[in-house]
Amino acid sequence: MKKVLSLLAVAFAALANSPLAAAVQFGFQDPETPIARQIYSLHTLILWICVVIFVLVFGAMFYAIINHRKSVGHKAAQFHENTQVEIIWTLVPFLILMGMAWPATKTIIEMKDTSNPDLTIKATGYQWLWGYEYVKGEGDLAGVSDGIQIFSRLATPMEQIYDKSANKDDHYLLEVDHELVVPVNKKIRILTTAADVIHSWWVPAFGVKQDAIPGYIRDTWFKAEKTGVYRGQCAELCGKEHGFMPIVVRVVDNAEFQDWASKHRSDASPAAATSAPSAEAAPAAAEATQVAAAEPAASSGASAPAADGKATYDGLCSACHAMGIAGAPKFGDKAAWAPRIAQGVDTLHQHAIHGFKTMPAKGGNPALSDATVMAAVDYMVSQSK
């Protein structure tokens, strides 16, 4: 029995550390936060408890079947009740369960303790992107990043997704245009919510997975101990592009975070200022940040981003309209556009703003102002007739 156990242990250890395991990504990602490490060791502890139980139960069963079989003349014992055995088989599982529940409960309580964060960020799930809003920094992060808003959209080019022969990036489907940037060794509290359906904010290396539910705010936290880039995904089936809304968190040191935050704030303000004449001042400011971030070169110019249909087309609409996928009329394709233009540009504006057939409202970016969406439509129409 001892031999079997040690053989099993060796086999498991060999498998877990083998290049094969690395190649097929066997097991968990390396845990990078205290909570993730606790989850990892809990997982390992409970796995081993299960292995031992499995070996003992099946060992006893096969021993009994083989050695006590009728063909070797074994006679069945005839007895009822055995208080001693009954106490043992009640007590042993009880102790095993307590041994698992105690550390598990401790970890869950720590996971739920979102008190005293250094930085609070709201993560909003949309079909199909993530929006981040830096709500509040505490201590030396007070006011550093407050108010910064980012929209984080899949950056993998559509050709890689729909063209099977195309070369895939290293981080295929796990790359975004704007990463969530956070400082290292700080307690980051993430508030999760959603604008349309239930999504879930999941970063495995942080040991964090929290549902994002429309109309509710839930929270979770992490404290990354190493700088670097960590990748996750939406973990709640949320529609046809559920697989296309990854999460990328860039953990940087404090000085770099201060830099990033001040740059991002100053990037945002001139764009917001130029969009001030817009009728919808508040949403336009938010969307100006978005367009400015998507098109850093274009936004540094004097033109008002809110009216820049080309920038919006390049940054958003082109995802489908450039190649004419998912039923979208192809950009520049006069034959495809003619019947649509015949319906009146007004109708096209309405379709673009409120959604039509396969196209989500505002191309899936609810932060855009109506004027921006209309400008993008006008640009596409002007280039396609």
Please give the residue ranges that form the binding site for Cu ion (CB under 5 A).
199, 234, 238
Burial 258-287 (b: 16+ CB within 10 A, else e): bebbeebbebbeebbebbeebeeeebbbbb
Instruction: Give whichever of 326 and 341 is closer to Cu ion, judged by the CB atom.
Output: 326
> To the nearest whole angstrom, how small is the minimum distance from the Cβ of residue 269 to Cu ion?
31
> To the nearest whole angstrom, how small is the minimum distance from the Cβ of residue 237 to Cu ion?
8
Sort strands 228-234 and 208-212 into parallel, antiparallel or unpaired. unpaired
Nearest to 259 by CA among 132, 151, 145, 134: 145
Instruction: Give whichever of 152 and 369 is closer to Cu ion, judged by the CB atom.
Output: 152
> To the nearest whole angstrom, how small is the minimum distance from the Cβ of residue 113 to Cu ion?
26
Nearest to 367 by CA among 286, 281, 280, 262: 286
| CA pair distance 304, 281, nearest whole angstrom | 13
The DSSP element (H or E) to which 125 belongs, if any, is: strand 119-126
> To the nearest whole angstrom, how small is the minimum distance from the Cβ of residue 164 to Cu ion?
25
Instruction: Give whichever of 238 and 371 is closer to Cu ion, judged by the CB atom.
Output: 238
Instruction: Give whichever of 199 and 264 is closer to Cu ion, judged by the CB atom.
Output: 199
Judge whether 225 and 36 are in contact, CB under 8 Å: no
Instruction: Give whichever of 234 and 307 is closer to Cu ion, judged by the CB atom.
Output: 234
Judge whether 187 and 115 are in contact, CB under 8 Å: no
> To the nearest whole angstrom, how small is the minimum distance from the Cβ of residue 353 to Cu ion?
22
Backbone torsion region of residue 326, taken as left when φ is above 0, otherwise alpha when ψ lies between -120 and 50, otherwise beta = left
Nearest to 315 by CA among 305, 301, 329: 305
Q: Is 149 helix (H, G, I), strand (E, B) or coil?
A: strand
| CA pair distance 124, 238, nearest whole angstrom | 13
Q: What is the largest CA-CA distance in the chain?
A: 98
Sort strands 180-183 and 247-252 into parallel, antiparallel or unpaired. parallel
Instruction: Give whichever of 178 and 199 is closer to Cu ion, judged by the CB atom.
Output: 199
Q: Reply yes or no: is the peptide bond before residue 128 cis, omega within 30 of 0.
A: yes
> To the nearest whole angstrom, how small is the minimum distance from the Cβ of residue 130 to Cu ion?
8
Instruction: Give whichever of 246 and 329 is closer to Cu ion, judged by the CB atom.
Output: 246
| CA pair distance 351, 62, nearest whole angstrom | 68
Q: Reply yes or no: is the peptide bond before residue 201 cis, omega within 30 of 0.
A: no
Instruction: Give whichever of 178 and 310 is closer to Cu ion, judged by the CB atom.
Output: 178
Instruction: Give whichever of 104 and 155 is closer to Cu ion, judged by the CB atom.
Output: 155
> To the nearest whole angstrom, how small is the minimum distance from the Cβ of residue 230 to Cu ion?
18
> To the nearest whole angstrom, how small is the minimum distance from the Cβ of residue 242 to Cu ion?
5
> To the nearest whole angstrom, how small is the minimum distance from the Cβ of residue 214 to Cu ion?
12
| CA pair distance 385, 383, nearest whole angstrom | 6
> To the nearest whole angstrom, how small is the minimum distance from the Cβ of residue 234 to Cu ion?
3
First to last CA, the chain: 80
Instruction: Give whichever of 138 and 177 is closer to Cu ion, judged by the CB atom.
Output: 177
| CA pair distance 275, 289, nearest whole angstrom | 10
